Amino acid sequence: MDARAELLAWYDAHRRDLPWRRTREPWAVWVSEVMLQQTRVQTAIPYFERFLARFPSPSALAAAPLDEALALWSGLGYYRRVRQLHAGARAVAAAGGRMPTTAAELERLPGIGPYTAAAVASIAFGEAVPVLDGNVARVVARRLALAQDPARRETRRRLLAAAGELVDPRRAGDSNQALMELGARVCTPRAPRCAACPLAAGCRGAESGAAEAYPPPRARRAPRRVRQVAALVEGAGGRLWLVRRAESEAVMPGLWEPPTVEAAGRRAAEAAFAARFGGDWRLSAPVARLRHGITFREIELEARAARWQAAAVAEGDAAGWFTRAELAALPLTGAARKLLVPPEAS
């Protein structure tokens, strides 16, 4: 068998049973590809199922307020993705609900780049176009023993051409998914299992005995460690006071969270809350601690019950009181959801 046939035979035998692989419906494929950007497969599955149950078509999402989509996305991170998906769905709905069928047409929709366009066009519509995500780039770079940075335009062009040679036009979508699956499970960043790879024959990286050297590792920016304090202010009827992040925020704009400041220790946090929100703050001992990462920050967050006396919220802040039952339907930050919403309510 040639390389394309070997790849597809391996995929047929080893493919994972994932919910988005049980359909070629274009909207489901689009949603899955957006969710899988920067997100692990097992994390994405429940979000995908809930999102499709509520928004079974682009028109359904287009008709819903962005806040509802954000709420369903809450905890998945990288919220710019759902904002762009909402904008794309509105563009499709405005065009009569018909999704474009080619990669070139799909790229004209808001928020759809070359990778997503190629994935949807090949999987849903059978167009013989290659995809190039991180997994595919690694497989192909090792096959060519290509030592250049995949982010470079010329390198990307060579990788796309080589990936295209592995796409069987009769099963274009399966070919692309097979390459992605191969990169995720066999041709892994560390300790690739070359002996189990259907493309080992003719792979220059494997033949060199140094497959891990391709593509060359990119320099990683050192994360900045940040300490934060979240104040849990409880009012009448057990309602919690939350604030909404401004739309101008670079990270998680428009999402709700308990008032939070960057500080270490009770006294420093009380002063920071007073400066940020006004009034007089009194914080208790920590009631919960979380660690989470956002972009290039590693955040240590402690939550403290708080008493706050002030005439009003500081000017310019959107805020509100919410019952525990109302929290699950809010577009919360991931940290806020972990702190405030029981898993069974998510």
What 8-state DSSP symbol labels residue 195? G
99-157 pLDDT tens trace: 999 999 999 999 899 999 999 999 999 999 999 999 999 999 999 999 999 989 999 99
Q: Which structure tokens are listed for 202?
A: 């003719």
Contact 26, 116 (CB under 8 A): no
3-31 pLDDT tens trace: 999 999 999 999 999 999 999 999 999 99
- pLDDT reported for residue 49: 97
- pLDDT reported for residue 312: 54
- pLDDT reported for residue 79: 92
Is the CATH number of domain 224-345 3.90.79.10?
A: yes
Query: Which residue, chain included where needed, has tokens 């391709």?
Result: 214
- pLDDT reported for residue 315: 42
Superfamily of domain 3-213: Hypothetical protein; domain 2 (1.10.340.30)
Sequence ranges of the chain with CATH classification 1.10.340.30: 3-213
- pLDDT reported for residue 346: 56
The closest of 128, 135, 136, 140 to 172, measured between CA atoms, is: 128
User: Helix, strand or coil for residue 232?
Assistant: strand
Q: What's this model's pTM, rounded to 2 decimal places?
A: 0.85
**Average pLDDT over every residue of 319-323:** 91
Sequence ranges of the chain with CATH classification 3.90.79.10: 224-345
State yes or no: pLDDT of 252 exceeds 70: yes
Catalytic residues: 33
- pLDDT reported for residue 344: 61
**C-alpha of 201 from chain center:** 34
- pLDDT reported for residue 303: 96
Mean pLDDT of the chain: 92
For residue 36, what are the contacts with CB-CB under 8 A and spacing of at least 6?
A: 44
H-type alpha helices, the chain? 3-14, 26-35, 41-54, 58-63, 66-73, 80-94, 103-106, 114-125, 134-144, 153-165, 172-185, 204-208, 266-277, 324-327, 334-340
Contact 179, 166 (CB under 8 A): yes
Long-range contacts of 338-346 (CB under 8 A, 24+ apart): 338/75, 338/290, 338/292, 339/230, 339/232, 339/258, 339/288, 339/290, 339/303, 340/240, 340/258, 346/75
Judged on CB neighbours under 10 Å (0-12, 13-18, 19+), 340 is buried
CA distance 311 to 188: 57
State yes or no: pLDDT of 222 exceeds 90: no
